[in-house]
Structure 1
Amino acid sequence: MSMEGSSAVSDWLHHLIILPILIPLMVGAAMIPIDERNRMIKGVMGFVSTLVLFVLSMVLMRASASTEGFLAGTSVYQLGNWPAPFGIVLVLDRLSALMLCLTSGLALAAQVYSIARWHTAGHHFHSLFQLLIAGLNGAFLTGDLFNLFVFFEIMLAASYGLLLHGSGPLRVKAGLHYVAINLAASSLFLIGVSLIYGATGTLNMADLAIKLATISPENRQMVEVGAGILGVAFLVKAGMWPLSFWLPTAYSAATPPVAAVFAVLTKVGIYVILRLSLLVFGANAGVSAGFGQTLLVVGGMLTIAFGAIGVLASQAMARLAAYSVLVSSGTLMAAIGLGHSSMIAGALFYLVSSTLTISAFFLLIELVERGRDAGADVLAVTMEAYGDADEDEEVDEAGAAIPGTMAVLGLCFCLCALLLAGLPPLSGFVAKFAILSGLFGLSGAEPAPALSAADWTYVTLLILSGLSAMIAMNRVGIRTFWASIENTVPRVFVIEIAPVVVLLGACIFLSLQAGPTMRYMQATADSLLDPSGYTQRVLTAPRVGGQ
């Protein structure tokens, strides 16, 4: 009786893996028939759904990190109770659990922020938001390339509507470009998947990793061509230069809650590249080991340089944040491409920290700029260039009190500046230090490697990108808080500033808990670098009922 009860509990726990997909999918579908005049009802439904997802993702993350329990390590969920590689499987491991937690956290903050005003700017906002989350969670959980394409399309279809949410000519123009580019990327995705299936007869990632080691030279060529085409599709989403021309305009035109959750969309491309490069094209892939790493290194470094130049050139804060997304993506792509195993843990830490920071910054920008004239930044540049300010004007007051709202917004802005620039003591510095420690072999786990020219170039770009962020944020901060032309105090609701504070608080928490966080990231990196446990669990997972 005890064994039967334990088996029943295990079966129920097993279904937790699919809930991050089912919950937002069902809630999003249930919202569609509800009249748009009842947006607050939809907002409450969306908030409850996202809150449940956040709690669930924390549970799954804790379970995957444990050494005992039914969901410990790598867990496999067989849809239709068909085993891999014939059936479709969802796979929960440390990396996918980390991405689920990050996504749900950002989604919860953006969901709360949108209820204040932005969900009324268009139709079906909350439904599209839930479908976007379902697509993201599915992409992180799936163990099959074709179903990765399916969830990728669900995510993109929802993002099309969310980017156009709020209308306006600039948003519509950017949205149409975004749709066209991503439809082309989806076509490349499908072509790449077809070539890989034609050469190997499988799309299961674990099975593909096993077969690639023994595949014939002719079929290997086709697999590499397919993987190259597939890689282009993901690099478009990740924002590698020159495929990133669409991203700054699209992200800066989106409404604040949409831009905040879009910060994790680029990380879908990073996630898939990291997953496939270490699982399929890892050390056991034979002559295909390390496929595409050179492109990742060169493209990642060019992306960092392009993003840093864009950050310096940006006068509007929204474009500054959008170019910061490119700096983040380039840093991660180059770290993966350099192939130093000791850098992966630091790169994962940086992925979480930079995504939280950029998401908080997107939400903060609208609060800071609320009530300012559209041409305030251009006017400020003109005054700096031509000296139009009246320097001889007498000041009657010795000083002016700083309004409470501006003090809170200014503090949040300073935290964003420190995090984007990677200055101590916050998590942005810890993440970059962890990457450089892995590169220089300071962790002591491996002997210090001899650094190549590419390694030194990466170090230089990493430092210069932080310097460019510091310069740009200082310039914008002075114009906004210290020498503002309008001198107006925006009206900010608690429900709007609270998500910003929580996201920045999460970065502070990462700083304070850097030791345990890095241990989790290192264990995640170790499991990625040794994919034998992943492949074995996926391909040998028993059917429910033991049949």
Structure 2
Amino acid sequence: MTSWTDHLIILPILLPLFVGAVMLLIDERYQQIKAFANLASIVMMGIIALLLMRAADVTTATGTAPIAVYRLGDWPAPFAIVLVADRLSALMLALTSVLAFASTIFATARWHRVGAHFHSLMQFLLMGLNGAFLTGDLFNLFVFFELLLAASYGLVLHGSGQARVRAGLQYIAINLTASVLFLIGVSLIYAVTGTLNMADLAIRIPQVPTQDRALLEAGAAILGVAFMVKAGMWPLCFWLPTTYAAAAAPVAAIFAIMSKVGIYILLRLSLLFFGAGSGASALFGSEWLVAAGIATILFGLIGALASQEISRLAGYAVLVSSGTVLAVAAAAGTAAVTASALFYLVSSTLAIAAFFMLIELLERGRDPGADMLAVTREAYGEDMPDDPDAEEVGMVIPASMAILGWCFVGCAAVIAGLPPVSGFIAKFSMLTALLSGDTGSSITPLHWTLLALLMLSGLTMLIAMTRAGIRTLWSPTERADPRIRLAEIVPIALLLLGCAAMTVQPQAAMTYMQGAAKSLHTPAAYIDSVLAPAQTRVKLGGGS
């Protein structure tokens, strides 16, 4: 008999759909009502995500974690529209809810009033994100991707302005192209296998005849390119720093999770479709994923060093984060390394989202040419005799700037991976896993390359963040002290507290990540749960 808890899986999709649609009927003059409804919906989604995490984070008698499956209409797989909740999808739901909550609180200070339907667009974006994390078939993955992209088009243009319109048009064009590639890849895979259910594909791919395998792999490659565009992988990432820098602060903060959707799908599908047990197509494309990840890290580091605007620096930090997760997880191919990469994904995403909101406060009151003036002084020296402001470098920072300065230090420490914060723990864990010998063979030159990149990325981001901090916080340029509202500093502190919690209790977080990574690398339980008869499906309460 079906219980009400079995329907929790679909609520992260239905709830934002209903709330977003209702808010469209409310006049824009009642922004406070819309903000309350938006926040209430996000809190409920967060609670549901925690319940799903708790239900997935147990071990059954067979030594596997339960995977909850929701079949719309109770049709049997692979014909049903299937939603699947395991450790990883529940984790991504929770991370999305946290970022959405912080971004919405920040927006209530002023940003939600500078454009139309901000809160509705946020709900539709969350619907698409949640659906992408929960869906169990490629067609509905495309549907949810288009939903979140449609909402993101409106959000990236929120607030108008020439820079946003230019970046928004570029963003729309590149994502529409990626959507076309998505459809082509899905069509080729369906033509060969006759199914789009992910679990069913995992069974059919090893059985594809030799004469059809080239067409299958071509479809998978095209699909991979579409996801790499959405993940911001080099050389398809030119749009990301510009778009994120131009977007409103709360929009850029929630967009920190957008590239991770592409990373999530790439990891899940590559291990599900082309894992070690996939026959002739085993490990297909893994070398390209590693190469793309490494190239993205290097591109992001060069961009971070070259950035003269702090907002673009944050955009390049997103690229470094995404490239690190993909390169490390795809190169090693073990649960231990993937778990460390997932820990890094959560930590870096929280810190980067906080950084995007912090930038808006730091830039408040500064002259548009302040960064270029700081670069000029840096080039010619701070002690130029003709510089009347040279003696003001050591001036006392007002209380508001002191608060922002400490927040900046926190963001920089996590992004650069300084000890003892969560960013350092994540990188140290990845280094340990790569060197531990758990990779199934001796340490290869590729592993040494990744080790060097992890250390180089930390040093490079430290230099870039330190330089940006000096220019922003200690520059002698005349500036007005920013006026900060409580609704603006609280969400930044909330995200940094999340990083602090991962620093204080890393073992609890890492244990969960290890369970999620193990499920990714051993997809048999996922396949069995999705394709099992409806009457034997796993329930959220732990029974079957």
TM range, smaller chain: over 0.9
C-alpha deviation, 1:136, in angstroms: 0.2
Answer whether contact 2:333 2:439 (CA < 8 A) is retained.
Answer: no
C-alpha deviation, 1:336, in angstroms: 2.6
Query: What amino acid maps onto 1:57 in structure 2?
Result: A
Q: What residue is the counterpart of 2:170 in the other structure?
A: 177
2 CA distance for matches of 1:165 and 1:399? Answer: 38
Asked if 1:128 is matched to 2:121, the reply is yes
C-alpha deviation, 1:544, in angstroms: 9.2
Q: Secondary structure at the match of 1:402?
A: coil
CA deviation map 1:224-280 (0-9, x unaligned): 111100000000011111100111100110000000000000001100000011111
2 CA distance for matches of 1:100 and 1:246? Answer: 26
Query: What amino acid maps onto 2:225 in structure 1?
Result: V
Q: Relative contact order: is structure 1 or structure 2 higher (C-alpha 8 Å, sep ≥ 6)?
A: 2
Q: What residue is the counterpart of 1:306 in the other structure?
A: 299
Asked if 1:374 is matched to 2:368, the reply is yes
Q: What residue is the counterpart of 1:527 in the other structure?
A: 519
2 CA distance for matches of 1:492 and 1:415? Answer: 18
Which residue, out of 416, 421, 429, partners 2:416?
A: 421
Answer whether contact 2:56 2:67 (CA < 8 A) is retained.
Answer: yes
Query: What amino acid maps onto 1:136 in structure 2?
Result: L
Q: Secondary structure at the match of 1:497?
A: helix
Which residue, out of 421, 437, 440, partners 2:435?
A: 440
Cα 1:436/1:502, change in 2 over 3 Å: same
After superposition, where does 1:53-452 map in structure 2 within 5 Å? Answer: 53-67=45-59, 73-341=66-334, 342-387=336-381, 391=385, 401-441=396-436, 446=438, 449-452=441-444
1 CA distance for matches of 2:431 and 2:306? Answer: 27
1 CA distance for matches of 2:111 and 2:278? Answer: 48
C-alpha deviation, 1:51, in angstroms: 1.1
2 CA distance for matches of 1:431 and 1:84? Answer: 38
Answer whether contact 1:53 1:104 (CA < 8 A) is retained.
Answer: yes
Q: Secondary structure at the match of 1:213?
A: helix
Answer whether contact 1:275 1:528 (CA < 8 A) is retained.
Answer: yes
Query: What amino acid maps onto 2:375 in structure 1?
Result: V
Q: What residue is the counterpart of 2:447 in the other structure?
A: 455
Q: What residue is the counterpart of 1:3 in the other structure?
A: none
C-alpha deviation, 1:67, in angstroms: 3.3
CA deviation map 1:93-132 (0-9, x unaligned): 0010010000011000001100110011111111111000
Range moving further from structure 2, 98-107 or 71-80:
71-80
User: Unaligned 5+ residue runs, structure 1?
Assistant: 1-6
C-alpha deviation, 1:449, in angstroms: 3.8
C-alpha deviation, 1:223, in angstroms: 1.4
Answer whether contact 2:16 2:127 (CA < 8 A) is retained.
Answer: yes
Cα 1:374/1:527, change in 2 over 3 Å: same
Answer whether contact 1:283 1:290 (CA < 8 A) is retained.
Answer: yes
Q: Secondary structure at the match of 1:37?
A: coil
Answer whether contact 2:332 2:447 (CA < 8 A) is retained.
Answer: no
Q: Secondary structure at the match of 1:18?
A: helix
C-alpha deviation, 1:165, in angstroms: 0.6
CA deviation map 1:70-90 (0-9, x unaligned): x96201000111121011100
Range moving further from structure 2, 36-45 or 260-269:
36-45
Answer whether contact 1:112 1:495 (CA < 8 A) is retained.
Answer: yes
Cα 1:311/1:530, change in 2 over 3 Å: same
1 CA distance for matches of 2:216 and 2:22? Answer: 41
Under a length normalisation based on structure 2, what TM-score does the superposition of the two structures give? 0.95
Answer whether contact 1:441 1:449 (CA < 8 A) is retained.
Answer: no
Query: What amino acid maps onto 2:319 in structure 1?
Result: L
| Percentage of identical aligned residues | 57
2 CA distance for matches of 1:224 and 1:518? Answer: 34
Which residue, out of 498, 506, 517, partners 1:514?
A: 506
Q: Secondary structure at the match of 2:70?
A: strand
Range moving further from structure 2, 31-40 or 174-183:
31-40
Cα 1:72/1:63, change in 2 over 3 Å: farther
C-alpha deviation, 1:396, in angstroms: 9.9
2 CA distance for matches of 1:505 and 1:223? Answer: 45
Under a length normalisation based on structure 1, what TM-score does the superposition of the two structures give? 0.94
Answer whether contact 1:340 1:439 (CA < 8 A) is retained.
Answer: no
Equivalent residues, number: 534
Cα 1:452/1:68, change in 2 over 3 Å: closer
Answer whether contact 1:91 1:538 (CA < 8 A) is retained.
Answer: yes
CA deviation map 1:295-353 (0-9, x unaligned): 01111111100000001111111000000001011111111321330311101101101
Q: Secondary structure at the match of 2:234?
A: coil
1 CA distance for matches of 2:395 and 2:289? Answer: 51
Q: Quote the RMSD (CA, aligned, Å).
A: 2.1
Q: Secondary structure at the match of 1:41?
A: helix
After superposition, where does 1:16-35 map in structure 2 within 5 Å? Answer: 16-35=8-27
C-alpha deviation, 1:488, in angstroms: 2.6
Answer whether contact 1:23 1:49 (CA < 8 A) is retained.
Answer: yes
2 CA distance for matches of 1:533 and 1:292? Answer: 24
Asked if 1:504 is matched to 2:490, the reply is no
2 CA distance for matches of 1:398 and 1:242? Answer: 40
Answer whether contact 1:440 1:448 (CA < 8 A) is retained.
Answer: no
Q: What residue is the counterpart of 2:542 in the other structure?
A: none
User: Unaligned 5+ residue runs, structure 2?
Assistant: 539-544
Query: What amino acid maps onto 1:344 in structure 2?
Result: T
C-alpha deviation, 1:435, in angstroms: 1.0
CA deviation map 1:185-244 (0-9, x unaligned): 000001111111110011000000011111211222221111100000000011111100
